[in-house]
Structure 1
Amino acid sequence: MNKIQWGMIGCGNVTEVKSGPAFSKVAHSALMAVMGRNAIKAADYAQRHGIPKWYDNVDDLIHDPQVNAVYIATPPDVHLYYAEKAMRAGKPVYIEKPMARTAAECAAINSISKETGVPVFVAYYRRTLPYFVKLKALIDAKLIGEVRLINIQLHWQPYDEETGPNAMPRWRVSPEISGGGHFHDLASHQFDFLEYAFGPIKLAKGICSNQAGLYKADDIVTASFEFESGILGTGSWCFTVNKEQRVDEAVIIGSNGRICFSFFEKYSIRVETADHTEEFILPYPQHVQQPLIETIVQQLRGEGICPSTGITGARANQIMDWITGI
């Protein structure tokens, strides 16, 4: 492909800043069309973002001759459906994370990709964000010696929409749409990066519960996991604490020190050894998906390789399925 001309399915909040504008800021790439089931919202999105075309029918977008690649920015329940339509039309797909609701759905997407020869990419953009590129470089440099243990803590307060007498649960906490709850939405990013940095996880198990009863999905998860390299990991995810208890911390413990970092909220990485402590501050770019989109465009043009594919993207779902017992 000479120029990658994108059609975007879905125009929700994730596309407003994180991804949508980036497609036209990457060299040899442009966002040509957007589709939303609500025609008024789709038209408004196109007008606000300077997108030439909008649709309220997915087939019209996929078969637009000016669209040669498709970004699926919808909830996970329709990822497989839309990905198959696009791939069978010969158009590469870039799918929001998590890749699908379950590992089985991810496998189906990858099977269609293999059958059609059409590539799949997944929006695990931490693989290319400067913050996490630096973190991986620090890990690879073995500044803390041999890695022994990884611990994750993610404890957040409920969203306003999920509390009070008029609570209206969002799609992220409807398992039939998202595959689970906030754990599926957020831990997928964490496990994808951990495998990118440390290699495959061979075993994971956990305990899940719905303690607060705000919605159908689990709101608390604890897990332990083991990498093929022998590194062990533990984690706790709780989404019903008060604001003062909010925690987003991860620690990599090595034979000669530790690295402390945040997966979502903080921009600092702290390296501590017996004789030295150093901190690195790396804020995220305005459009966090832009570095990853650049690698997708490069691969489609035959100029590089994207580090986040359907094969790698399916792994996070597999690990979460192990933990939640799906």
Structure 2
Amino acid sequence: MAILLDEVRWGMIGCGAVAERKSAPAFNKVAHSRLVAVTGRSAEKAADYAARHGVPRWYTDAAKLMADPEVNAVYIATPPSSHAEYALQALRAGKPVYVEKPMARRYADCLAMNQAARDAGLPLFVAYYRRALPYFLQIKALIDAAAIGTVLAANIRLVQAQRPADRNPKQLPWRVIPDIAGGGYFYDLACHTLDALDFILGPIVDVTGHCANRGGLYAAEDTVAAAFRFANGATGSGFWCFAAAESCRDDSVEILGSAGALRFSTFAFTPIVLENVAGTRQFLPSNPENIQLHLIEAIVAELRGLGRAPSTGETAARTNWVMDAICGHLG
């Protein structure tokens, strides 16, 4: 969708943890981009964030931020349950949208967001920043260069221990409340790996899964197993558990090919290991201080008519579809 801005002036809805270092500071580090306004759940929170980060204006009402003539693009940094509502409002206000991941609580919401973007003739981006990180670009480059031959399969394992915050039933983190997050930590974390594989290997087109709660600390799933097939014919499997012993921790992805294998991690950024007939090699590209910087650079470039960003509402909706299919939420 074509839109041309000389300078991208961001208004940010929400000022929680993700905005402290991962995303918001990058808006002012990218050329032709500025963070000009922010909203928070309270006046105190919004004013504090604005003062600490040098943001000129703050609001407690997202509608007022969207109506601000200085704001010409909106970043939504709230929990998933409000992503669709705010995205629809911003698009109707004529402003491009950059929304946190997962794109929405449910796949149906993603479809509504994409339709609204098409109706408005505006772009919609999603914060799957791994698509722009040198680490994952290196993996994609090796796959595209057939360094492991024809891709046969991809296997995911993410195993974590229970978190202390999960043991307080009266004050559970929003990430394990399905009405807010869509599910549990699976929705919050698995989406990163699934979207990265969509970027590296192409879309998943068929998937089955099983979800369970084995830890008993909250209602959301904490153990998930899935099998899937990519459009290119490769198969895959995934196992995610957030209730295991500390000694069981694992963060690994393996892509098997007809001539070798690639092994890497989603969150730990351990060295990428390539094994093929030439032997074993390792790669470890560095990450920017603000992890979303490169994706924001690409988004700003697209909004200025100078390129295309790799993470859109269309690509991100596919990841929601996979998660909802695994957990039986497609209805």
Q: Tell me the CA shift for residue 275 of structure 1.
A: 4.2
**Which TM-score applies when normalising by structure 2?**
0.96
Q: What corresponds to 1:259 in structure 2?
A: 262
Instruction: Please list every run of 5 or more consecutive structure 2 residues that lacks an aligned counterpart in the other structure.
Output: none
Aligned to 2:150: 146
1:105 is matched by which residue type in structure 2? D
* Correspondence for 2:64: 60
**Contact residue 154 and residue 237 of structure 1 kept, 8 A:** yes
Q: Which residue of 2 aligns with 1:119?
A: 123
How many angstroms apart in 2 are the aligned matches of 1:210 and 1:2?
50
Q: Which residue of 2 aligns with 1:171?
A: 174
- Is contact 2:127–2:311 with CA below 8 Å preserved after alignment? yes
2:110 and 2:300 map into 1 onto residues whose CA distance is 22
Which of 276, 283, 286 is the equivalent residue of 1:283? 286
Q: Name the counterpart of 1:157.
A: 161
Preserved CA contact (<8 Å) 1:267 1:283? no
Q: Pairwise mapping of residues 209-248 of structure 1 onto structure 2 (< 5 A)?
A: 209-248=212-251
- The DSSP-based 3-state class of the residue aligned with 2:243 is coil
> Alpha-carbon deviation of 1:112?
0.8
| TM-score between both structures, scaled by the size of structure 1 | 0.98
Output the CA distance in 1 between the equivalents of 2:217 and 2:116: 37
The aligned amino acid for 1:72 is I
Are positions 1:86 and 2:90 aligned together? yes
Question: Paired residue for 1:110?
Answer: 114
Deviations 1:125-145 (A, max 9, x none): 000001001111011111111
Name the SS for the 1:33 alignment partner. Answer: strand
Question: What is the CA–CA distance in structure 1 between the aligned matches of 2:124 and 2:252, rounded to whole Å?
Answer: 31
CA RMSD of aligned residues (A): 1.1
Which secondary structure state, in structure 2, belongs to the residue aligned with residue 284 of structure 1? coil
The Cα offsets for residues 98-126 of structure 1, whole Å up to 9 and x where unpaired, read as 00011100000011111111210000100
> In the TM superposition, what is the alpha-carbon distance from 1:266 to its structure 2 partner?
2.5
Which consecutive segments of 4 or more residues in structure 1 shift more than 2 A? 165-168
Task: Check the 8 A contact 2:169/2:218 in 1, yes or no.
Answer: no
Q: Quote the residue 2:308 is aligned against.
A: 305
Displacement after TM superposition at 1:267 (Å): 3.4
Match of 1:32 among 27, 32, 36: 36
Distance 2:99 2:134 in 1: 21
1:192 aligns with 2:195: yes
What is the rounded CA distance, in whole Å, between the counterparts of 2:197 and 2:278 in structure 1?
27
| CA offset digits 1:204-262 (Å, max 9, x no partner) | 11010011111110000000000121100001000011222110011011111111100
Partner in structure 2 of residue 99 of structure 1: 103
What is the deviation of 1:167?
Answer: 6.4
Question: Following TM superposition, by how much is the alpha carbon of 1:92 offset from its aligned partner in structure 2, in angstroms?
Answer: 0.4
Distance 1:199 1:57 in 2: 39
> Residues of 1 paired with 2:327 and 2:42: CA distance?
34
Letter in 2 for 1:112: A
Secondary structure, aligned partner of 1:177: helix
Aligned residue pairs, count: 325
CA contact (8 A) 1:153 1:235 kept: yes
Q: Percent identity?
A: 52
Code of the aligned partner of 1:240: A
- Cα displacement string for residues 165-192 of structure 1 (whole angstroms, at most 9, x for unaligned residues): 6663110110000111111111111111
Aligned-partner Cα distance in 2 for 1:185–1:166: 19
